[in-house]
Structure 1
Amino acid sequence: MSDTPTAAPVSFAEFPAVTTAEWQARLTRELKGQDPATLRWPLPDGFSLEPFYHREALAALGGPPAPLPHPLAPWLNVPALTVPRGTDGRAQIDQAANALTNGADGIHFIIHDVPALAVHYLAEQLPLASTFVGYTVLAAPDELLSQLVEAAPGTALRGFMRFAPGPVPEGAELADYRAALRRCVRLTTGMPDFRALAVNGAFFGNRGATASQQIAFSLNTAAALLAELPDAETTAAEVAAAIHLHVAIMPGYFLEIAKLRALRRLWATLLHGFCLPAELNANLRIHAMTATWTQTTLDAHTNLLRHTTEAMSAVLGGADSLAVAPFDCLFAEANEFSARLARNLSVLLREEAGLGRVQDPAAGSYYLETLTDQLAQEAWTLFQRTEAQGGLPAMRGQLIEDIKAVATETFRRIASGQQVIVGTNRFQNKNEQFHFHPKKLLRSADFDVTRAAYPTEVLRLATAMHFERRDRKSKRAAVVLLGANTNQVILENFLQTLQEHERPELAASHPAGTLSLLYSSAEEATLMYATLDQFQKFARFIYQIPTEKQHFIPPALLTSDLATLHEAVRVFGFQEMKVQGYSTEEVLARLQGR
């Protein structure tokens, strides 16, 4: 239009251009002889971040990459609500309706019992033609979709379906579910705002995978869907159009922005490999969620700060929808206070910070464009290697082992203080009063023990229980399962509390792969380790579980009368972990800041 103002070119001509060589010389001078290479930040993905990037970085990429497509609208604020087993979901549907009037743009239901869900009530309270609704189900995704179509005939649904059949990555166990997933695709054909198939990259991220592993293994999952689902009635293009990605966002701010950007670029490469139309590239939707991997029960308000950086990374990286978890979701029942804080985070970023107004804000950044390219290259190499070895599901076990190796190294870095979790392994609140009961939490089957903070966190919780038991002179005893190899975490954390001259010679750590335990009574606390078989038999004995009962998962906390537990520990052969010069109680007291 003639009255539209013309944008003036941005120029900083008044500042002289500075060459890379001049910047490098200035950097060397400021470091006073220290090698600039010492400032490199090595990533577990196999490459390092440089302390300095300049315009040559874009030249090395063949020029500035094209910006990512601008979304038609800012990201959707889509909080998650869990519908517990044995309930019809009416309470959660009412909560969803309230959230939608208070800042939410959609709702993601995590449904544990599909047959019990009040589908018609859902359709009445949340008009399916205009409401963005996501569904995660453990079984029968096609049955739920069929019920939704029946409850709102002629309505094009908006949202997504995610089928999570068990403790494996979706797409890794297709043989039993092909028919159901194909039916999901057919039921939603002609619904451009609904994605019936999920690639759950969050599965990998929330178990500690590196950024490149998350990207690569997500692509491997998508490749399995594209290879296995097409048949005479369902085309590969229809499968591709039905896929969306779920991604967990970590606190590594710039790395997470680059992760989402690399995912979009490699998605185009994957579709090209399947000879699919290029226009499908722009249809990819990414649903981002704040990571459970980085959450903690200790100093839990720090989760609010983590969620803020994670949410910003998600939206600046180009997520289409975002779920921010309540800061207390690890230990508290769902409540409006923490849900409102989580919901309002997206609203603040959009309405007050204006983060949805710029197309691909990372575009052109020397640093972020280089990081995006490096992540894409590493991830694509890993993806190709996995596919060459059979892809999913053939390589599922190896992928899990690779992630475990990375997670174990993360636990070690946290224990030694090389990697900081604020409020957990550094800057702890020594006088923290828990807003939950440690014993109840450790007994809960829903307590997430896969997180990065867990080995340090469970030690604090178990120690608090021990000192409480000692103060009350309890006549009962407890064995707390601290996790695999946690004794090494205890040793390294303990060393951090000592001055150099105080450090004793420590006994050799317990054998790799064994379980770490804390035996606690009013009289004593002893750190121990045991094999998995020993602990299984011990738990069965304490709770009188017959051996013929095959499926028994021992809880993290076992309690009994003092005599029974003390004798059982002796009979089942648990080994004590010794710290020369210090008793277990002295170690625990030091770790608790006592």
Structure 2
Amino acid sequence: MDDTQQDESLPFDEFPRPTFEAWQVAAVESLGGKPLDKLTTPTYEGIPLQPLYRREDTASIAAAHTVPGQAPYLRGAHAAGYVERPWAIAQELAYGRPAAFNQALRFDLEHGQTAVNLLLDGPTRAGKDPDAAQPGEVGRGGVSLASVEDVAVALKGVDLAAVPLFVRAGTVALPLLALLVAHLRRAGRPVSDLHGCLEDDPLGVLAHEGALPLSLARAYDEMAQLTLWAAHHAPRLATVAVHTYPYHNAGANAVQELAFALATGVAYVRALTRREVDVNVAAAHLRFDFAVGGNFFMEIAKLRAARLLWAQAVAAFGGNDDAQRMRLHARTARRNKTAVDPYANMLRVTTEALAAAVGGVESLHVSPFDEPIRPPDDFSRRIARNVQVILQEEAHLTEVIDPAGGAYAVEALTDQLAREAWALFQEVEHKGGMAEALKDGLAQSRIAAVADQRAANLAKRRDVVVGANQFANPNELDPLVDETDYEALHRERAAQISTYRTHDDDAGPLSAHVTALERLADMMVAPPETMVETAIAAALSGASLGEITRTLRLNDSARPTIVPVSLKRASEPFEALRNKAAGYTAAHGAHPRLFLANLGPPRQHKARADFAQGFFEVGGFEVLTNNGFPTPEAAAAAALKSGAPAVVICSTDETYPDVVPPLAEAIRAQAPETVIILAGRPAEQVEALKATGVDEFIYFGADCLALNEWLIERISA
């Protein structure tokens, strides 16, 4: 291209610029005169999605006109975005044994993973050694760690200077740090190599579990001690995390998720600054972990709004620009994943991962498709990991700074979300903060209201979960199962920690072990730096995680209990239907069957027959269909011959008055217990049709869940 061509301007002014008003007129015409509101989409956030967004929608949004890396960080925490710092591929590995975790981790780090994301099992998160846990708890959902040796096995061959370490520590971040630092010192590795986050999150644990194993005051004391120690010894290691997973997976909308995350972060900064941690240090050691769901643009806007809101909150504390920078991790949500037709989860996580990347996360976990069912296998781990690799290496998202920047829809949604979330956050603050909002049930009740709306829409199939409440696969292979023997795992780990405590060798003599625990108890009122170092010394001497945790919390005050948020995957009620159908099959030697009495040619019955088939296949029914019958008598004879305990009549409203009475009468005469259902619900005919023998009606908007539950109970009686 020569210089003349480069300077030549394109004469776009020859085209008339349409006005918004002209577009509105054309849109109304295309709707046949219906109001333009028909093109808006309602959301659970109460923020309707508009059919068109324009420059005017973002002109007054100041943050939208900033640049990446500039406070309030709407457009990203770093100026060069992923071009300079690609997000970390931080896949969780839910294996119970330290050796199994290590084997999977080392393989995955060689095949695309770029961070260690360590999930702990329930007993470890609660500060219990395996022999103090209940059978079935150990190793479920995460690795069991109880000693320095366990940490050494789990992290064998992993260079913690090269990869960040994220540990969802619950309320045992300080005891876990003691084991981790003891491991590094034994190995002769500098503690300053540590970077990532230990994810101390007592309010998140309280929301999820309904109880804490220590008082909030003691939890905040440990948080402050941990943070001050890390600021001095491992300045790149964050120590506190705000997890939104409990709220998201309980059904919260994006406004609630943002508000409760912000309120939790503010509670932590407030608690730390009251314990002599500088606000800039406190904010720099805090990370936010968001769940990302399937509402693509809303999720992008949520992550952008989170950065904006956090910058605003930290600024109110007097934090500097760097302290206002949010450290942001995300994982794909559990709420919308299915145990039935689980391979569809691969598709769900792909859009969620893309939303997270476009939203500007710094690290990300993409769920393996079998996450609702079992620990991942090699195949499911590889597929999940490669979703991220493809987004980085093939979709080239790491070559773009702020992919969503300037998109009118995203910027407008971000602004609306931020305003609504800030208002709810202020309401929480007026209640006394996030802890009080959990204690008095404010958070739970707000989430439950949205969760109830979601459940009702799922039951009536206004919201679709493919494979669960719509488009069920009647030929699905045998379901995946978790084959882990948790009882054996509990016995194995309990024996290991018992041996560890009593074994006397150069690494940890029993006398030194006891002395270290006594010293730890004596140092309960020591300065924070000494407190953490004493815990590390106890770990080096052979103290277990459970022993360190118990000693730290001697003489603790009352421990809070609340009603936890209710966690349930969206598809669980429909999966329960399938289980009932499987129980019927086991008891009767055949699937629950349902016959379609299709009347007339295909054009007369097919639409409703297809609807009926899909309606009942989600309940696990074997649907017997056909090309239609010329007369009600022929349909009745075929229905009786099939032996199906339920029949669905499919035809048109116009034909029902003539065909339903003789068909129902013929069936009732020979099989009076047969359930008769009508596809459709002609309002003016309902009572008359019931009088002829129709038991129920199915139609768009009918409660699919309730009707399937009623039918399987009816034919099982």
Question: TM-score w.r.t. structure 2 length?
Answer: 0.62
**Distance in 1 of aligned mates of 2:7 and 2:335:** 45
Compute the displacement of 1:387 (Å): 0.6
Compute the displacement of 1:183 (Å): 2.2
Q: Secondary structure at the match of 1:245?
A: strand
2:259 maps to a residue whose letter is A
Q: Secondary structure at the match of 1:49?
A: coil
Counterparts in 2 of 1:577-588, with a 5 A limit? 580=695, 587-588=711-712
Relative to total residues, which structure has the larger strand share, 1 or 2?
Answer: 1
- Judged with a 3 Å threshold, the aligned counterparts in structure 2 of structure 1 residues 472 and 200 are, in CA distance, closer, same or farther, namely same
Does the CA-based 8 Å contact 1:140-1:180 persist in structure 2? no
**Distance in 2 of aligned mates of 1:408 and 1:382:** 19
Name the counterpart of 1:535.
none
- Cα deviation digits, residues 80-116 of structure 1 (max 9, x gap): 01243xx4x1220221111000010112111223424
The answer as to 2:259 corresponding to 1:216 is yes
Does the CA-based 8 Å contact 1:76-1:106 persist in structure 2? yes
The answer as to 2:286 corresponding to 1:249 is no
2:574 maps to a residue whose letter is T
Name the counterpart of 1:378.
420
Q: Say what the alpha-carbon RMSD is for the aligned residues.
A: 3.5
Name the counterpart of 1:278.
321
Q: Secondary structure at the match of 2:433?
A: coil
Q: Secondary structure at the match of 2:350?
A: helix
**Distance in 2 of aligned mates of 1:354 and 1:253:** 19
- Cα deviation digits, residues 96-141 of structure 1 (max 9, x gap): 1110000101121112234246223445411111121111124421
Name the counterpart of 1:51.
51
Counterparts in 2 of 1:256-405, with a 5 A limit? 256-282=299-325, 284-396=326-438, 397-405=441-449
- Judged with a 3 Å threshold, the aligned counterparts in structure 2 of structure 1 residues 164 and 470 are, in CA distance, closer, same or farther, namely farther
Does the CA-based 8 Å contact 1:123-1:152 persist in structure 2? no
- Judged with a 3 Å threshold, the aligned counterparts in structure 2 of structure 1 residues 63 and 81 are, in CA distance, closer, same or farther, namely closer
2:117 maps to a residue whose letter is H
1:301 maps to a residue whose letter is Y
Does the CA-based 8 Å contact 2:281-2:323 persist in structure 1? no
Q: Which structure: larger Rg?
A: 2
Name the counterpart of 2:116.
107
Q: 1:461 aligns with which of 579, 595, 598?
A: 579
Compute the displacement of 1:250 (Å): 0.3
Compute the displacement of 1:8 (Å): 9.3
Compute the displacement of 1:590 (Å): 11
Q: Secondary structure at the match of 1:34?
A: coil
Relative to total residues, which structure has the larger helix share, 1 or 2?
Answer: 2
**Distance in 1 of aligned mates of 2:344 and 2:91:** 19
Q: Secondary structure at the match of 1:348?
A: helix
Q: Which moved more, 1:135-144 or 1:411-420?
A: 135-144
- Cα deviation digits, residues 464-519 of structure 1 (max 9, x gap): 2222222189xxxxxxxxxxxxxxx99x989xx886969xxxxxxxxxxxxxxxxx
Name the counterpart of 1:426.
470
Q: Secondary structure at the match of 2:59?
A: helix
**Distance in 2 of aligned mates of 1:19 and 1:93:** 61
Uncovered stretches (5+) of structure 1, i.e. residues with no partner: 1-6, 442-447, 474-488, 503-523, 525-578
**Distance in 2 of aligned mates of 1:456 and 1:179:** 45
Counterparts in 2 of 1:469-508, with a 5 A limit? 469-471=587-589
Compute the displacement of 1:19 (Å): 2.2
Compute the displacement of 1:203 (Å): 1.8
The answer as to 2:195 corresponding to 1:158 is yes
The answer as to 2:207 corresponding to 1:168 is yes
Compute the displacement of 1:383 (Å): 0.4
- Judged with a 3 Å threshold, the aligned counterparts in structure 2 of structure 1 residues 586 and 408 are, in CA distance, closer, same or farther, namely closer
Compute the displacement of 1:233 (Å): 4.3
- Judged with a 3 Å threshold, the aligned counterparts in structure 2 of structure 1 residues 585 and 48 are, in CA distance, closer, same or farther, namely closer
- Judged with a 3 Å threshold, the aligned counterparts in structure 2 of structure 1 residues 96 and 55 are, in CA distance, closer, same or farther, namely same
Name the counterpart of 1:574.
none
- Judged with a 3 Å threshold, the aligned counterparts in structure 2 of structure 1 residues 298 and 472 are, in CA distance, closer, same or farther, namely closer
2:295 maps to a residue whose letter is G
Q: How many residues align?
A: 485
Does the CA-based 8 Å contact 1:200-1:247 persist in structure 2? yes
Name the counterpart of 2:537.
none
- Cα deviation digits, residues 409-443 of structure 1 (max 9, x gap): 101000111111111111111222232369999xx
Compute the displacement of 1:18 (Å): 2.6
Compute the displacement of 1:63 (Å): 8.6
Q: Secondary structure at the match of 1:247?
A: strand
Question: Percent of pairs identical after alignment?
Answer: 31
Name the counterpart of 2:163.
131
- Judged with a 3 Å threshold, the aligned counterparts in structure 2 of structure 1 residues 193 and 409 are, in CA distance, closer, same or farther, namely same
Q: 2:101 aligns with which of 86, 92, 107?
A: 92
- Cα deviation digits, residues 192-241 of structure 1 (max 9, x gap): 43211000112211111000100000001011101112245422221111
Compute the displacement of 1:278 (Å): 2.1
